[in-house]
Amino acid sequence: MPATAITASVRYFRPGLTKVYWVRTIATYTAPTRAELNAGTDLSPEIAEISGFSVVSDSVDTPDLLNRFVSKIPGRITADDSSINFYASSTGFTDARSVLPRDTTGFVVFMDGGDVTTTGRMDVWPSTVASVGKLRAMEDPAQVQVTFTPTRVPAEDIVIPT
Protein backbone atom coordinates (compact mmCIF):
# COMPACT_ATOMS: atom_id res chain seq x y z
CA MET A 1 0.00 0.00 0.00
CA PRO A 2 1.49 3.42 -0.95
CA ALA A 3 2.08 6.16 1.58
CA THR A 4 -0.72 8.62 2.26
CA ALA A 5 -0.38 11.74 0.14
CA ILE A 6 0.03 15.13 1.75
CA THR A 7 -3.11 17.27 1.72
CA ALA A 8 -3.19 19.45 -1.38
CA SER A 9 -2.55 23.13 -0.70
CA VAL A 10 -4.89 25.90 -1.72
CA ARG A 11 -2.41 27.89 -3.79
CA TYR A 12 -2.50 31.64 -3.96
CA PHE A 13 -0.77 34.66 -5.44
CA ARG A 14 0.43 37.19 -2.81
CA PRO A 15 -0.47 40.48 -4.54
CA GLY A 16 -4.01 41.42 -3.60
CA LEU A 17 -4.14 38.96 -0.69
CA THR A 18 -1.16 39.13 1.70
CA LYS A 19 -1.33 41.80 4.42
CA VAL A 20 1.66 43.29 6.25
CA TYR A 21 1.01 45.48 9.30
CA TRP A 22 3.36 47.54 11.46
CA VAL A 23 2.09 47.56 15.03
CA ARG A 24 3.89 49.72 17.57
CA THR A 25 2.46 48.09 20.71
CA ILE A 26 1.36 44.52 21.43
CA ALA A 27 1.10 43.48 25.08
CA THR A 28 1.58 39.76 24.41
CA TYR A 29 3.03 39.36 20.93
CA THR A 30 2.27 35.64 20.83
CA ALA A 31 -1.45 36.51 21.15
CA PRO A 32 -2.18 39.97 19.72
CA THR A 33 -5.72 41.30 20.03
CA ARG A 34 -7.84 42.63 17.19
CA ALA A 35 -7.73 46.09 18.81
CA GLU A 36 -3.91 46.01 18.78
CA LEU A 37 -3.83 44.94 15.12
CA ASN A 38 -6.38 47.60 14.17
CA ALA A 39 -4.22 50.25 15.89
CA GLY A 40 -1.34 49.36 13.53
CA THR A 41 -0.56 50.60 10.04
CA ASP A 42 -1.32 48.50 6.95
CA LEU A 43 1.93 48.70 4.95
CA SER A 44 0.68 46.46 2.14
CA PRO A 45 -0.32 49.15 -0.40
CA GLU A 46 3.22 50.58 -0.54
CA ILE A 47 5.33 47.40 -0.51
CA ALA A 48 7.42 46.74 -3.61
CA GLU A 49 9.49 43.82 -2.28
CA ILE A 50 10.01 41.73 0.87
CA SER A 51 13.27 39.98 1.72
CA GLY A 52 14.13 37.69 4.63
CA PHE A 53 11.74 37.30 7.55
CA SER A 54 12.44 33.59 7.76
CA VAL A 55 13.66 31.58 10.72
CA VAL A 56 16.68 29.35 10.14
CA SER A 57 18.49 26.88 12.33
CA ASP A 58 22.21 26.21 12.30
CA SER A 59 23.47 22.65 12.38
CA VAL A 60 26.00 21.44 14.93
CA ASP A 61 28.35 18.57 14.07
CA THR A 62 28.31 15.66 16.54
CA PRO A 63 31.30 13.47 15.60
CA ASP A 64 32.19 10.35 17.54
CA LEU A 65 34.99 7.79 17.45
CA LEU A 66 32.72 4.92 16.42
CA ASN A 67 31.84 6.29 12.97
CA ARG A 68 33.46 8.17 10.12
CA PHE A 69 30.07 9.70 9.37
CA VAL A 70 29.54 12.95 11.26
CA SER A 71 25.93 13.32 12.34
CA LYS A 72 24.34 16.68 13.13
CA ILE A 73 21.86 18.14 15.59
CA PRO A 74 19.88 21.36 15.37
CA GLY A 75 21.80 24.34 16.73
CA ARG A 76 21.09 28.00 17.29
CA ILE A 77 18.01 29.53 15.74
CA THR A 78 18.47 32.81 13.89
CA ALA A 79 16.63 34.98 11.41
CA ASP A 80 17.75 35.91 7.92
CA ASP A 81 18.59 39.56 7.28
CA SER A 82 15.20 41.15 6.67
CA SER A 83 14.02 44.20 4.77
CA ILE A 84 11.02 45.64 3.00
CA ASN A 85 11.27 47.94 -0.03
CA PHE A 86 8.59 50.63 -0.17
CA TYR A 87 7.73 53.11 -2.88
CA ALA A 88 9.09 56.57 -2.13
CA SER A 89 6.99 59.71 -2.33
CA SER A 90 8.08 62.72 -4.39
CA THR A 91 6.02 65.01 -2.13
CA GLY A 92 8.36 64.81 0.82
CA PHE A 93 8.49 62.71 3.92
CA THR A 94 5.01 61.18 3.47
CA ASP A 95 6.02 57.60 2.63
CA ALA A 96 7.20 54.66 4.76
CA ARG A 97 9.92 56.85 6.25
CA SER A 98 7.30 58.73 8.27
CA VAL A 99 5.97 55.48 9.77
CA LEU A 100 9.24 53.57 10.14
CA PRO A 101 12.06 55.91 11.18
CA ARG A 102 15.40 54.39 12.25
CA ASP A 103 15.44 52.90 15.79
CA THR A 104 11.66 52.56 15.96
CA THR A 105 10.56 49.40 17.74
CA GLY A 106 7.40 47.46 17.08
CA PHE A 107 6.06 44.37 15.37
CA VAL A 108 5.93 43.39 11.70
CA VAL A 109 2.82 41.25 11.26
CA PHE A 110 2.51 39.04 8.18
CA MET A 111 -0.90 37.67 7.22
CA ASP A 112 0.14 35.63 4.21
CA GLY A 113 -3.37 34.50 3.30
CA GLY A 114 -4.95 37.86 4.08
CA ASP A 115 -6.60 39.26 7.20
CA VAL A 116 -9.01 36.37 7.63
CA THR A 117 -10.17 36.01 11.23
CA THR A 118 -10.31 32.66 13.08
CA THR A 119 -9.13 30.52 10.15
CA GLY A 120 -6.21 32.63 8.92
CA ARG A 121 -2.70 32.51 10.37
CA MET A 122 -0.15 35.22 10.99
CA ASP A 123 3.47 35.63 11.98
CA VAL A 124 4.48 38.39 14.40
CA TRP A 125 8.09 39.63 14.26
CA PRO A 126 9.21 41.81 17.20
CA SER A 127 11.62 44.16 15.43
CA THR A 128 13.60 47.37 15.45
CA VAL A 129 14.06 49.48 12.34
CA ALA A 130 17.82 49.34 11.75
CA SER A 131 18.07 51.56 8.69
CA VAL A 132 16.03 53.40 6.09
CA GLY A 133 18.00 53.64 2.87
CA LYS A 134 17.07 55.33 -0.37
CA LEU A 135 17.33 53.12 -3.45
CA ARG A 136 18.35 55.16 -6.46
CA ALA A 137 17.99 52.90 -9.49
CA MET A 138 17.54 54.68 -12.81
CA GLU A 139 14.97 52.33 -14.34
CA ASP A 140 12.83 51.52 -11.29
CA PRO A 141 10.29 53.59 -9.37
CA ALA A 142 11.88 55.48 -6.47
CA GLN A 143 11.99 53.32 -3.35
CA VAL A 144 13.20 53.27 0.23
CA GLN A 145 14.52 50.09 1.84
CA VAL A 146 13.68 49.58 5.50
CA THR A 147 15.94 47.04 7.22
CA PHE A 148 14.59 45.32 10.32
CA THR A 149 16.44 43.50 13.11
CA PRO A 150 14.36 40.86 14.90
CA THR A 151 14.59 41.40 18.65
CA ARG A 152 12.94 38.14 19.79
CA VAL A 153 11.92 34.85 18.26
CA PRO A 154 8.92 35.51 16.01
CA ALA A 155 5.52 34.08 16.92
CA GLU A 156 4.60 31.91 13.98
CA ASP A 157 1.30 30.53 12.69
CA ILE A 158 -0.90 32.34 15.24
CA VAL A 159 -4.64 32.37 14.61
CA ILE A 160 -5.79 35.82 13.46
CA PRO A 161 -8.15 37.19 16.14
CA THR A 162 -11.71 38.37 15.49
Q: What is the pLDDT along the chain (162 residues), one digit of tens a residue?
A: 899 999 998 888 888 889 999 999 999 999 999 999 999 999 999 999 999 999 999 999 999 999 999 999 999 999 989 999 999 998 877 789 999 999 999 999 999 999 998 888 999 999 999 999 999 998 999 999 999 999 999 999 999 999
Q: Smallest Cα–Cα separation from 115: which of 159, 53, 160?
A: 160
pLDDT of residue 161: 95
Q: What is the pTM of this model?
A: 0.89
CB-based contacts of 129: which residues, under 8 Å, 6+ apart? 100, 101, 102, 103, 104, 105, 146, 147, 148
pLDDT of residue 104: 97
Rounded distance, CA 162 to CA 153, Å? 24
